[in-house]
Structure 1
Amino acid sequence: MMGPKQEAQAALFYEFSLEEHVPQDHLLRSIDRFVDLDDIRQYLAEFYSHTGRPSIDPELLIRMLLVGYCFGIRSERRLCEEVHLNLAYRWFCRLDLSDPVPNHSTFSKNRHGRFRESALLRHLFEKTVARCIADGLVSGQRLAADASLIEADANKQNSTPKEDWDISAINPSDAPRAVKEYLDVLDDAAFGAASEVKPKFTSHSDPASQWTAARKGPAFFSYSTNYLIDTDHSVIVDVEGSRSIRQAEVGSVRTMLDRIKDRHDIDPERLIADTAYGTGPMLGWLVKRGIAPHIPVIDQAKKAEGVWSRDDFEWDQENDRYICPEGHDLKQFRRNYSDPNRGPSGKGTMRYRALKLTCQDCPSKAKCCPDQSIRTINREPDEDARQVARDIAKTKQYVVSMRLRKKVEMLFAHLKRILGLGRLRLRGPNGANDEFLLAATVQNLRKLAKIFPAPQQTRKA
């Protein structure tokens, strides 16, 4: 039997509860238990005026931003529409059915103003890290680091080749926000001071972004998000934005390790990373800090197949020499110099050489130096640290570390595919850092929600 036609009936009074209409197993219910914004008003108090019209509650804006990054809603205009329509979003943002949703322009004013001036997003991220530590998800013993390219909001059509780019022609007082930020970070180790090499193209709209073809495809403008994670439960303990070049990414790891030591008293036993971080200075810095580098060493001293490499020579630390497989010495100097740092390169690199007569009469010359009259070996200033990393690479723990390193790559995949952060919407170094911090905060909150889901209430019959 066909039922009667459904028609909306107007009523004078409604009894409605948002709490009853949000499913008990909804993701936002689990996340809500770990969002601590009790101190946000006190934290921002000095950035608000004591007179004038009352502002929109900053907790509401932060909760809306968390919803947007949690569910991949990249547009703030669309975010306002979704919060207006979705009951679960309203419940999480503490909005009743009759409460209005803020205008999308409010986010820009607060993001570029008091949120950025107060470093609120960094504060919010570090509170989630502290919560993960308190709940036993972070041991701080094994950390892994890596970087991933995120496309910037810029394109080649609005750019200038490096030979035509003139910084002196920029008027800072009349420049857009992203250009002013570019001028501010020219001496920053994560941006302008990371390398003296100028990028092939510079964007007019976001000059701090890096023109790169690192993905082996069409080049594009990008920033790098650098993650430092604890491998126990893949919790992100720190995040940093930088230029998309190796020097800036390696420097960001140092910055993050110093920061977590200062903020959370985390001093790891080992750092796990890929070959890009296996430079001598980086390995030397880690060894001096007492951190075991589980990192493949960048070694450019490999010889052709069938020719002895540096690993075939024995290093004699006490006598400052190498000993070849035939038992001959390779020394840096054959006589004393007043300057012990004096060497052929003039940059601290030490060159050890055998005697010419010894090499000419050696029966193994074809295996040692077939194309040279004598065998030479260059030793970098941080060669001892490089050897430490080589020795670690021979252990079983190193094999485990290389498997654990994939956890960082899984977080980047989640960042781009689930959270939708494949391209930035904000410009400039500050805008990129804001997006990276919010995304990392949401990833940690989702991790907490997954490990500690909200308790399920039994429904009444």
Structure 2
Amino acid sequence: MMGERRIEQPALFYEFSLDGHVPQDHLLRAIDRFVDLDGVRAHLAPFYSAIGRPSIDPELMIRMLLIGYCMGVRSERRLCEEVHLNLAYRWFCRLGLDGEVPDHSTFSKNRHGRFRDSDLLRELFESVVRRCMAEGLVGGEGFAVDASIIRADASRHRTAVDGATGLPAEAAGRAVEEYLAVLDDAAFGAATPVTPKYISLSDPASRWTAAQAGPASFAYCTNYLIDLDHAVIVDVEPSTAVRQGELAACRTMIERANDRLGLYPERLAADTAYGTAEMLDWLVHDQGIEPHIPVFDKSQRDDGTFSRADFNFDHQADAYTCPGGKLLKSSRRAFKVPRHKAPADDTIRYRASTHDCQPCPLKTACCPNQPYRKVTRSIHEGARDMARDIARTDAYITSRRERKKVEMLFAHLKRIVGLDRLRLRGPNGARDEFLLAATAQNLRKLAKLAQQQPQASPA
């Protein structure tokens, strides 16, 4: 039998608890335990005027941004709509049932002003890292570093100009000003002297790259420095999408983690892109960090002739010995004033004598097309040899396996957080998005580990 039609009769009084309508296992309830924003207002106080209309609570805006990046809501306009409708979002933002949600334009105004001037998002990220350290999730002994390409908000069809001609005189805007400000930055304009093929008018600091699968596009790189114990992101830095920019960002992150967080790793795991001679020398001699990194080496020959590995180097004599027993020296003359200046390209060239090479029976297997054999050696070869020795240990095999954790974080960044394409433009926009995304990933990890811990039974 069909039931009677329900006639809505509004009650005079309601008893409603917002906290009771948020499930105990909700992600935001677990994250809320680790979000400490007590110092936000004091940190931003110098950037507010003492007079005028009261502003939107900055803690509210930070909580809304954390919801957006934790739950994969990229649009700030849509984020305001979701916070207005979702009870769990309102509970996390301390809005109650009748709290007013700020307009989406408020985020842009504060982002381009107070948030960047005070470096608030960096402070927020580091406060979460310190909480991870307090929870025992950061060992500080082994780190891993890697970079991932994130497409910029720049069209590859309509806004590109020839990189050789540079920007036109009429080009202007915030993104162009930021591009000019980072021309001397080691991770951006100064990373490489190579002129890019194209420059985007809407986001000139983004780099034209074809490193990703599919057609070439404008992009940035997000660089992660993670602790290998629980894959906590201890630092994040944007860079241009070239290898030299990634190396500069790696140095910045290691030094900053030491200065601001007191983290100094014993070893660093990375892929071959970080195995350059200069990078290995900086890790070994300047920082005292063991490089668990494959050496970037192109000395191996594939034409059947002897490679550099077939020659033995004598450190005391500063000479190579060829398979035929002859010496290859960097200099065959005695100078009155010894020459200690390093070569311009940081590469020392060791040459054999023509009188030794011409009658040698191994010449066809050594230098068939040259009158004598030449072997090059980097001035940083000592650090490269150390990396090769580490590569033969069991600890290196473990580091290579653990290094995959950073790649899993990039997969999570693009598929769960939804940051496969930037929404903000310019280096500052990329930095803001990368910091918020890394903060959200660390908070989600804290929440996940907290949910896995057994609850203490009541006494």
Tell me the TM-score normalised to structure 2 length. Answer: 0.95
Cα distance in 2 between the residues matched to 1:195 and 1:93:
44
The corresponding residue for 1:340 is 339
How many residues align structurally?
453
Q: Is the 8 A contact 2:161 2:167 kept in 1?
A: no
The corresponding residue for 1:63 is 63
* Letter in structure 2 aligned against 1:101: V
Cα distance in 2 between the residues matched to 1:362 and 1:265:
58
The corresponding residue for 2:21 is 21
Cα distance in 1 between the residues matched to 2:302 and 2:252:
38
Question: What SS does the corresponding residue of 1:416 show, helix, strand or coil?
Answer: helix
Q: Is the 8 A contact 2:167 2:199 kept in 1?
A: no
**Offset at 1:207?**
0.5
Tell me which of 368, 376, 384 is aligned to 1:370: 368
Q: Is the 8 A contact 1:178 1:205 kept in 2?
A: yes
**Offset at 1:324?**
1.6
**Offset at 1:97?**
0.5
Misfit runs of 4+, over 6 Å: 454-458
**Offset at 1:33?**
0.3
Cα distance in 2 between the residues matched to 1:89 and 1:57:
16
The corresponding residue for 1:418 is 416
The two structures, once aligned, show a CA RMSD in angstroms of 1.7
* Letter in structure 1 aligned against 2:153: D
Q: 1:405 to 1:439 in 2, by over 3 A?
A: same
Q: 1:80 to 1:372 in 2, by over 3 A?
A: same
Question: What SS does the corresponding residue of 1:286 show, helix, strand or coil?
Answer: helix
Q: 1:7 to 1:401 in 2, by over 3 A?
A: farther
Q: Is the 8 A contact 1:185 1:192 kept in 2?
A: yes
Cα distance in 1 between the residues matched to 2:413 and 2:351:
51
Q: 1:405 to 1:128 in 2, by over 3 A?
A: same
Gaps of 5+ in 2: none
Deviations 1:124-147 (A, max 9, x none): 000011111111111111100000
Cα distance in 2 between the residues matched to 1:117 and 1:251:
23
**Offset at 1:3?**
3.2
* Letter in structure 1 aligned against 2:41: R
Cα distance in 2 between the residues matched to 1:205 and 1:348:
39
1:277-292 map, 5 Å: 277-288=274-285, 289-292=287-290
Cα distance in 1 between the residues matched to 2:278 and 2:58:
44
* Letter in structure 2 aligned against 1:13: F
The corresponding residue for 1:121 is 121
Gaps of 5+ in 1: none
* Letter in structure 2 aligned against 1:382: H
Cα distance in 1 between the residues matched to 2:138 and 2:433:
23
**Offset at 1:28?**
0.4
The corresponding residue for 1:139 is 139
The corresponding residue for 1:41 is 41
* Letter in structure 2 aligned against 1:65: L
Tell me which of 321, 324, 337 is aligned to 1:323: 321
1:24-423 map, 5 Å: 24-156=24-156, 157-166=158-167, 169=169, 175-288=172-285, 289-304=287-302, 306-337=304-335, 338-341=337-340, 346-423=344-421
**Offset at 1:8?**
3.1
Cα distance in 1 between the residues matched to 2:322 and 2:340:
24
Greater Cα shift, 199-208 or 366-375: 366-375
Q: 1:454 to 1:394 in 2, by over 3 A?
A: closer
Question: What SS does the corresponding residue of 1:377 show, helix, strand or coil?
Answer: strand
**Offset at 1:266?**
1.2
Question: What SS does the corresponding residue of 1:446 show, helix, strand or coil?
Answer: helix
* Letter in structure 2 aligned against 1:315: F
* Letter in structure 1 aligned against 2:243: R
Cα distance in 1 between the residues matched to 2:58 and 2:31:
18
**Offset at 1:415?**
0.3
Q: 1:346 to 1:111 in 2, by over 3 A?
A: closer
* Letter in structure 1 aligned against 2:248: G
Tell me which of 427, 430, 441 is aligned to 1:429: 427
Cα distance in 2 between the residues matched to 1:102 and 1:377:
67
**Offset at 1:457?**
8.9
Question: What SS does the corresponding residue of 1:103 show, helix, strand or coil?
Answer: coil
Greater Cα shift, 300-309 or 18-27: 300-309
Greater Cα shift, 307-316 or 88-97: 307-316
Q: Is the 8 A contact 2:310 2:322 kept in 1?
A: yes
Deviations 1:175-233 (A, max 9, x none): 31111111111111111111111111111111111111011420101110000000110
Deviations 1:23-82 (A, max 9, x none): 000000110000000111001000011111111110000000000001110110100000
Identity between Structure 1 and Structure 2 (%): 63
**Offset at 1:453?**
2.1
Q: Is the 8 A contact 1:331 1:352 kept in 2?
A: yes
Q: 1:26 to 1:331 in 2, by over 3 A?
A: same
**Offset at 1:339?**
4.9
**Offset at 1:342?**
6.2
Q: Is the 8 A contact 1:29 1:454 kept in 2?
A: no
Cα distance in 2 between the residues matched to 1:292 and 1:383:
15
Question: What SS does the corresponding residue of 1:202 show, helix, strand or coil?
Answer: strand
Q: Is the 8 A contact 1:341 1:348 kept in 2?
A: no
Q: 1:361 to 1:165 in 2, by over 3 A?
A: same
The corresponding residue for 1:439 is 437
* Letter in structure 1 aligned against 2:95: L
Deviations 1:307-349 (A, max 9, x none): 2211121111011011122221111111223352468x64342
Cα distance in 2 between the residues matched to 1:346 and 1:390:
25
